[in-house]
Amino acid sequence: MSLTITCPICGKRDGYEFRFGGEDKGPRPDEDGLTPQSWCEYVHLNECVAGRQKEWWVHKDGCGSWFTIHRDSVMNVEVATPEAHK
């Protein structure tokens, strides 16, 4: 079964309608005391988790929204957000 992704506006759709936007790395680092090395690490280095990770996606062939989902990178399936269980 191919990947399906739940867009917050359009609902559950075929994964081919979306483009991957990278891991969610949290807010960009504070510019005070920012070194080229730490900026480079923020921009280019990834955790590459084998399992559940939070990611950015854009619904490029649909509504154009940017949003985050949790995906199991081993099974390549969207999983419920931890917030959904609170």
Partner 1 sequence: MVEIKRYSPVAFKASPKRTEVRDNWTVVLEYDGEGQAAFGQSNVNENYLVDLSHITRLDVQSSNLDAITPFGITIPQGLCESYLQDGVLINRMNRIQASVFCLSGKRPEMPTESSYTETTEVGMCMAIIGKDVFSITEKLTSLDFMDYAKTTPFLYQAPMSHIPCQIITLSRDGAKSGIIFTASRGYGKDMVHAIMDAGAEFGLKPAGEDKVKSWLNTL
Cβ of residue 20: shortest distance to partner 1, in angstroms? 17
Cβ of residue 36: shortest distance to partner 1, in angstroms? 38
Nearer to partner 1 among residue 11 and residue 51 (C-beta): 11
Give ∠ CA 66-68-6 in degrees, rounded to 5.
85
Nearer to partner 1 among residue 14 and residue 47 (C-beta): 14
d(CA 12, CA 78): 10
Structure tokens given for 21:
């936007």
Cβ of residue 83: shortest distance to partner 1, in angstroms? 19
